[in-house]
Each structure stands twice: as C-alpha cells, then as structure tokens.
Structure 1
Amino acid sequence: MARIVRNDALYKQVTEAIRDDITQGVYGPGEALPSEARMLDQYGVSRTTLRQALVILRTEGLIEIQHGRGSFVRSRNTTAAIKTRPRAVLLDPLGSAHIFRQDADAATAALIDVPEGSALYVCEATGVEPANGRRVLTRTLLPFAAAEGTGLETDPFPERPALLSALSARHGKLAAKELVAARMPTPDESKALALPDITPILETTLVTSAKGRTVLAETETTSAEAIRLAYAIK
C-alpha cells in the first residue's frame, strides 16, 4: 500500500496509489475496488478526499462507479470506447425543445464573442445518442443580428443543414471553432443527464462565424465518463 504523507495534496496521493494498484494488476479489469469505508480506513483520509480521487480516476477512464454497488475497474477494451458524436448525427429527442429569447450575459458574451446585452434566440433541448443511449443537453444560440434578412426571424431553429444554409446565403463563407471544458454538473444537469454521483461533465461549444462575426453557437453537455475527443485536420 502506498504511504500517504501530509506534505502534498492528499487527493493526488490517493489517486496515484489507486492508479498504481490498477496498472500493476492488484485490481483487475471488472474487479471491484475496496468499499468506501475500507479505503477511508486504509488511506486515513476524509470522504471528500477519497471521492476527489475517484472522480479523477473515473475521468481518466480507469474506473466506473455504479450507484449502490461501488467502484469497478474498467475493462481494457472499453476504457476509450465512447467517442463524441459528430454533430451531423442527430440525437433522438427526449421531450420538447424550449425556444425563447434573451440578452447575452457577461459569461455568454465572452464565450461566444458577442457584445454583452446582444439579443439572442435560444433553443434548449435534451436528446439521446442513438448508438449508446447517452443523454446530451443542447443549447443553441442565434444572435438576432445574424438572423436578420435570412428568414430565420420567424423560424429561428429549422433543421441544422437548413439553418447553416440560411446563414451562409446571407453572410457568406462560414468558419467554426470548438471550445471544450470539463466541470462538475449543477444539480439540475445531473438530474437531466441521469448521472451517478460525482460524475463530471464535458461541455463542447461550436462557434460558427462569418467575416469575423459570430452567427451561431451550439453547446452540447454530456457525461465526461470515458469520453474521447477526436479531431480531423484538413
């Protein structure tokens, strides 16, 4: 057992100790880790510290946490099996989309590079990836200024190909960049995504622009467990 000392971040030491046990075969694929009570006694740390370590190991794809059962080592062939879904692949809707209008607050303005207070069309929805049943929260932002003269003022959120076509016809060639962030979910997000406890989420925002001006921003939020991002450079 790795010795836990007090002159370094405890959660990092616990993470490293458990990671070493997994990589050295002390706990094999599909095998349960010791119970939480046993690990608390083994490492002499708080429940919060232990759970921080388990979150990191889960994010790394080394373990999975099954509600009511405990923590299990992932099988080697499933560690990175789940990839992000190309946006061209449609989600199966889960309930109705919520469409409304709002002004960009400071955080939104900074994220998608629009002036604070800009009027936005907003579409929020929950979907399910057809290949694996993973839930995804989507949030699409369309600036009023980008919609003007496109016909989108009365129907701001048609199917994605039609939306991009309308924006391209009005504003010219479109370019896009993707922003990626991992964080812990809010209680509402955990409920909507049906997440087990202490599961981080991955948030990807595709910002589409024309002539240096943002015309569309599409955010998808889902469980970060075993996610792998793949990009093709052309």
Structure 2
Amino acid sequence: MARIVRNDALYKQVTDAIRDDITQGVYKPGEALPSEARMLEQYGVSRTTLRQALVILRTEGLIEVQHGRGAFVRSRPTAAAALTRPRTDPLHTIGSVHIFRQDADAATAALTGVPEGSALYVRETTATDPVTGRRVLTRTLLPFTAAEGTELETDPFPERPALLAALSARHGKLTAKELVSARMPTPDETKALALPDITPILETTLVTTAKGRTVLAETETTSAEAIRLVYPVK
C-alpha cells in the first residue's frame, strides 16, 4: 500500500503493487479496487501510468473494469485461454463477408511487400473462435500480382485449401511465418469486438511467401484479455 519508490518503470511498479494486494487478500474477489483518484494519490503516479497498470492486470485476468463503476477483482481469476486453433480450422462467421479491391497504403504495402498503390484483393469479416468463443476480426490480403495467371483473378477467396493450392501451383513451394503484436484497439475495433473499456487486442498475421515473395497475408484480431498463444514444438 506504500507509495512507489523503486527505480523500475512506474507502470510495472504499480502493476506489481496492485497484484500483490490482490493475491495477498487485501482486495477480495468481487471487491472494487479504490477509485482512480484514490489510487493516483496513493501511488503518486499519473493517470496514464495507472491505466497502463490496469490494462496489464486485465490482460492477466485478475480484474475487470465495469463502465461507470470502476475496477473489480474477478470473483474467480480467469486462467489464460490458449490459442491453439490451426488456421485450417474455420471460424464461425457472424457478420457479412466483404470482398473488395484496395490500393496498398504504407501499412499494407509493408505487410505484403508490394509497392504503395499496388492493387490488393481484400476479404474482411467478423467471426467467433470455436475454441475460446471470442469475437475475431479477420482480414486477408491477396496481391493482384500473386493472383495473376490463376483462377484467383476471378474468384480471389475460395476455401483456404483451394486458395493455397492455386498459389502453390502458380508460385511453387509456400512457406509461412506468424507475426504477433498487441496494441490498444481503434474505436471501430472496440465496437466490432464488443470490448469493455481499457481492453488491449492481440493481432496475429500469417504471412505466406513463395520464393521470398509474399503471396498472402491473413490477419486475425481479438481481445488480448487473459489469453496466451501456444505453439506446439515439432
């Protein structure tokens, strides 16, 4: 309960202090944490620092933030849900599927390795993960140059096995790597994923290449609260 005095990053110190109070029973399951104003005074840190600490505690599944009421200790701290679903296992689509053409901006050009302004096929939808039950935003980018000379020019997004088969037949052996990042959501993402306030998101992108050239980028975005990735060792 003391003020923060160590030399570590302030948000980590606050996180550790609140976590210790929860695990030691200072704050009981279901009990509200002190108000934001009280914690700011108690720890002597900025509002931004305190909110960073609360984001981490939410991600760990120790607290939940209820809009207009404050932060509460979870009645049963949530064990991290493991994301182990292979990309070959389908998501359950709950929204409309949007397929359109888009010229690559700086972000999508960097992801797909094409020049800015190059044409991309884009597929977007909202779905649920059958393992965790969480909402997932999906976005698939297919460069026009990767689809050229294949049936994908007229049907860019068949079932995934057919998509990969068409790319392999045109470009040769495919290899893939997973890119993972966490960040705070945009307002549109918060709404689409039905997220509570102060909830980070986890973004995983599977980038498929052939002969060093990106031919497909598949992104899934979901809540990062109390979640962990599992990569089986082969």
TM norm structure 1:
0.88
Aligned 8 A contact 2:3 2:42 in 1: no
- Give the gaps of 5 or more residues in structure 1: none
Aligned 8 A contact 2:109 2:115 in 1: yes
Alignment of 1:71 with 2:105, yes or no, is: no
Taking the aligned partners of 1:217 and 1:178, their CA distance within structure 2 comes to: 10
Partner of 2:31: 32
Aligned 8 A contact 1:99 1:122 in 2: yes
Aligned 8 A contact 1:15 1:53 in 2: yes
Look up the equivalent residue of 1:216 and give its one-letter code.
L
Which deviates more from structure 2 when the two are superposed, residues 36-45 or residues 105-114? 36-45
Taking the aligned partners of 1:32 and 1:113, their CA distance within structure 2 comes to: 50
Aligned 8 A contact 2:60 2:226 in 1: yes
Which deviates more from structure 2 when the two are superposed, residues 66-75 or residues 184-193? 66-75
- Give the gaps of 5 or more residues in structure 2: none
Q: How does 1:50-61 map to 2 (within 5 A)?
A: 50-61=50-61
Deviations 1:183-223 (A, max 9, x none): 00010110010000010001111000111111100011110
Partner of 1:136: 136
Which deviates more from structure 2 when the two are superposed, residues 203-212 or residues 54-63? 54-63
Taking the aligned partners of 1:149 and 1:121, their CA distance within structure 2 comes to: 15
CA RMSD of aligned residues (A): 2.3
Aligned 8 A contact 1:62 1:79 in 2: no
Q: Shift of the alpha carbon at 1:46?
A: 4.5
- Secondary structure of the corresponding residue to residue 152 of structure 2: coil
TM norm structure 2:
0.88
Deviations 1:16-65 (A, max 9, x none): 2102223334335x433424244345334454432221012122333333
Aligned 8 A contact 2:60 2:80 in 1: no
Evaluate the alpha carbon distance shift between residue 170 and residue 215 of structure 1 in structure 2; reply closer, same or farther with a 3 A threshold: same
Look up the equivalent residue of 2:93 and give its one-letter code.
P
Q: How does 1:153-172 map to 2 (within 5 A)?
A: 153-172=153-172
Aligned 8 A contact 1:84 1:228 in 2: no
Evaluate the alpha carbon distance shift between residue 22 and residue 84 of structure 1 in structure 2; reply closer, same or farther with a 3 A threshold: farther
- Alignment length, in residue pairs? 232
Evaluate the alpha carbon distance shift between residue 82 and residue 32 of structure 1 in structure 2; reply closer, same or farther with a 3 A threshold: farther
Taking the aligned partners of 2:54 and 2:145, their CA distance within structure 1 comes to: 45
Which deviates more from structure 2 when the two are superposed, residues 162-171 or residues 196-205? 162-171
Evaluate the alpha carbon distance shift between residue 198 and residue 151 of structure 1 in structure 2; reply closer, same or farther with a 3 A threshold: same
Partner of 1:193: 193
Taking the aligned partners of 1:68 and 1:88, their CA distance within structure 2 comes to: 41
Partner of 1:216: 216
Aligned 8 A contact 2:3 2:44 in 1: no
Evaluate the alpha carbon distance shift between residue 175 and residue 111 of structure 1 in structure 2; reply closer, same or farther with a 3 A threshold: same
Taking the aligned partners of 1:7 and 1:65, their CA distance within structure 2 comes to: 28
Look up the equivalent residue of 1:106 and give its one-letter code.
A
Taking the aligned partners of 1:213 and 1:203, their CA distance within structure 2 comes to: 22
Deviations 1:152-177 (A, max 9, x none): 11110111111111111222211000
Alignment of 1:175 with 2:175, yes or no, is: yes
Look up the equivalent residue of 2:171 and give its one-letter code.
H
Look up the equivalent residue of 2:166 and give its one-letter code.
A
Partner of 1:149: 149
Aligned 8 A contact 2:175 2:209 in 1: yes
